[in-house]
Structures are given as structure tokens and as C-alpha cells.
Chains A and B, each alone.
Chain A
């Protein structure tokens, strides 16, 4: 078949990769969501890192589908199915996972080259973690810009966040991402591609070097992620400065009374109408 020649052949194969990554990574994150992590001092031990699944699949198949599938899988399986949906803040994770997996997948020219796979897997983790850490630090920087009087706070934030990032990269990055990917990619290479009707990735069929548009796209997406996170966080900071005048304004109280009266009237109208509707439908 002709369309078996290139890696990112046709739409339905992309959909297959998407579904495959989504199902597997979603399942893995579902379990990690259910198992609580435990902390020893500053070091957090959690099995929170099954990123090796999308990394492996991103190196073997079309990276974009795998990356989007992984992010969607996490969102759908572990957030929505369990009812743990966190709102706008989830967007940050969605985008960082997508960027990390996509870039790692694009880096690999030939999955049989173990060194290449290792470098790509590790840089995927580092990118994902680093982006997340920068968002966290920015969050704190913006939130506490009012009271700079707190001495040593910026340093401590940099230290704890940096340490958490380093810990994640070294601990989960090596144990749960690098080693499993190094184990799985060569083992699956040439075996899993025919199941989806594709040729294994080789020097000739890979997507080529990462161009400027990839980097530019990542930066734009990342900016969007930061914006969303700030927006999600601003709810919290709004609460803080609102506290000064709440409870003292009498105009606010009057407004509330009016709103309550209007609300009661509207509710009564709605209720009678719904009863009328029921009567009509009953006939």
C-alpha cells in the first residue's frame, strides 16, 4: 500500500494512535490518581509518573497524535471520570504534557538507536518538568508581589520549587521514564507498527528536524498555559484583597436584598410555569 510509506500517513491512523495513547495513559494516570503519594521531608515519593507510555508511543508513531492523546487521556480518565476536574488549572498540565511528549517524539530519528531514545526521553521529562516549575514560580512571584517585606521568601520559593523539579527529574524521570522507555521502545519497534497498519519509523520516514515553527508553536501554547494558570489563580488572590471591604458596604447589602427579592419572584414564576407545562403534557 502506498500510504504505508510515510510515518504520519493518514487521518485514521492518527486517530488510532490518539485512541491508543489516550486509553493507556489514561488508565495509568487513573491509578496514580487513586494512590496517595507520601512525603519524606522535602522529597516526595509518588508513582505519579507513567509518562513513559506516551513517550514510547510518541517515538514509535506520529508524535502529535500521541502527545494530544496522552494529555486528553489524563484529562478524561483521571479528572473527569473520577470527578476531580480542577477547572482552568488543568490546562497547564495539558499543554506541558503535550509539548514534552511531542518534542521527545520528534527528536528520535531511529528508534533502534538506544542513545537517541534515552536522550529524547530524558529531555521530554526535563522539558515537561521545567515548564511546570516555571509556572509554579511565576505563580508565587505574582501572588506575593504585594508583600515583598517577607524576607527570604523568593529564595525559599526558588529553592523548594527547584528542588521539587530536580527531585522529579532525577527520581521519577530516571526510574519511571528513562528506564522503561529504554526497555519498551526497542522491544516494541517493528512489532506494534504493523498492528496499526504502518511501517516502522526509519531514517527515511521520520518527520525531520525540529524546525522553528515547532518551537514557536510550543512557546505560544506555553504562554497560553501560563495565562490560564494565572487566571485560575487570580480567583484566589482576588479573595485576599476583597476581604478588606466585604461586610462594611451597605450598598452591597441593599443590592443583595433586591437580588434576593427578584430571585424569589423569578423562581415562583418558573415554578408555576413548569407546573402548567406538566399539566399540558399530561393531557
Chain B
């Protein structure tokens, strides 16, 4: 009986999280266009429904009815497979993110924990799956049989290798502080108000994490695999219809996960910034913080120009990598000296 309950609970949670994630991905595209529009003193989408709120659905319908082309010279199996890899890994990332505390179902003693899986190696899982997502991009560009796609995927590979190192090293400080890879434990160690959040203990790591995260999700200052200006959309140049939409959704889902992970590691997860505000459910705090992060990701896209490819490589290896190492050494020393 216990197993059956667990199964039902897990399936319901999976469905709810999946639906919410897809809905937020849809509205993130809307938010992005809207915010970028307002940054450029124009309106953004405002014709489709009130405030353009139905725009994501009309985009989806459009993508669905477009012609689905597979280039003749492409490696067909891999070409079809790579958007799937991208979207599956982007969605699977959300499985370990804790988006709230637990609550008891009214009228029963059924305790529901607001996370799909709470595994010991949560962080390791996230970094493993996140790197898997890059394979979607690399294989997609490589299999389309297009020189722009190939260049884009080569850049994706190089960028992934150089920034994943710094990304991994930047969060090791947090792991040292909390002594665990389990995300719920990292959150519970930051309990009791915003002054306990890891961002005050690891400010450099937080900034480095955000920068590397932007590079990891191929967002604008680092959007080398998909350089619109010189590679004509890079790895997804040959993709059309729903295959392109899947890449697109994967990118945005990845962005949400990057934000959620930043919240979990540095901003106290779903916990309220002040202990007095604890009566507001954790999910609300989680969504609010996530909105702030997503807004920042869009805001910085509307602000910063793109870096050149060699600048990105230089920045990754000569600045970010040493800084993360330095941060790691200092954190280790501080923890050792404190005993």
C-alpha cells in the first residue's frame, strides 16, 4: 500500500512539475520578448490576447504546423535524436530541484514533500545531466551537414569544456560549507533569514556561478553556438518546425533550472528572507526568486554585447578559472581555520 501511495504521489508531482515547467517556459519566451521590447522602448508582443498573453500559444501552433525539413545530407538518426536529447536533459534537471517544504494533505496524515526526488548526489546529478544537454547541441549541429551548424557545435563543445570547469569549481565552495551534495540539506543549512544565505559567505562564487551559468545555457553574452550574426543561428540552422521549438524550449527550461539552482545554492531555496514571513508558502518564495533570476537573465541579454569567440575562451581560462580556484582555496582555508 505504501508503495502505491508513493507511486501515485510521484506521478502526480511529475505531471504537475512538468506542466508548470512547460507553462513557465512558454511564458518565459513571452516575458523575454516583452522585457527586451520595453528595454528598447517599444511594446513587444501585444496583439495576441491582452498584453500579448496568448502569444506563446500562437507561436506553438505556428511551429507545429510548419514544414518539418530533414536535410538530405544530414545524419538522419542523429539529426532527429539531438533535439530530444536537449529537451529531455533540460526537463530531467528539474527532478531534483526542491521547490518547497512539505505539507500534510488536509484530512489525512499524508505528508507531501515538494520535490520529485531527493537524492544524495543531487548536485552531481544536475551537473551530469546539464552536460548531457550540450550533446544535443553538439550532435544537432554536427549531424545537420552544414558548415555553420558544424562550426556552431564545435564552439559549443569548446565552450562547454572551458566553462563547465569553472562552473563546477565555483559551487565547490558551497559544497564545502554545507558538507553535502543533497540539495535539501544545502537549503536547510541556510535557514533562518536572508543573512544566513550562502550568498553572504560565497559572494564571489555566486557571481562566477551566474557568469558560467550564462555561458552554460548559451545565453547572449556567450551565445557562441548560436551566433546569429556570423553563423546564422549556428547549430540549429537546419532545424525547423517542432524540432527547432524543442531546442528553443530546452534552452529556456535550462535557463529556469540555472535560476532554480542559483536559488537553491545561494539564495536559501524556498525559504522566506525573514523568519517572520514564514507563513507565506515556500513555493511562492521560490517562484518569486526564480522570477527575479529570469528577469535578470533577460535584462542582461538586453544590455551586454556579445563577446568574440577568442575573448570568451580567454575569459573562461584566464580569468574565471583562476578566480574560482582562488575562491576555492580561500574557502577551504577559512573552513579549516574555523575548525
Q: Do A and B bind each other?
A: no
B-side residues, CB < 8 A to A, are: none
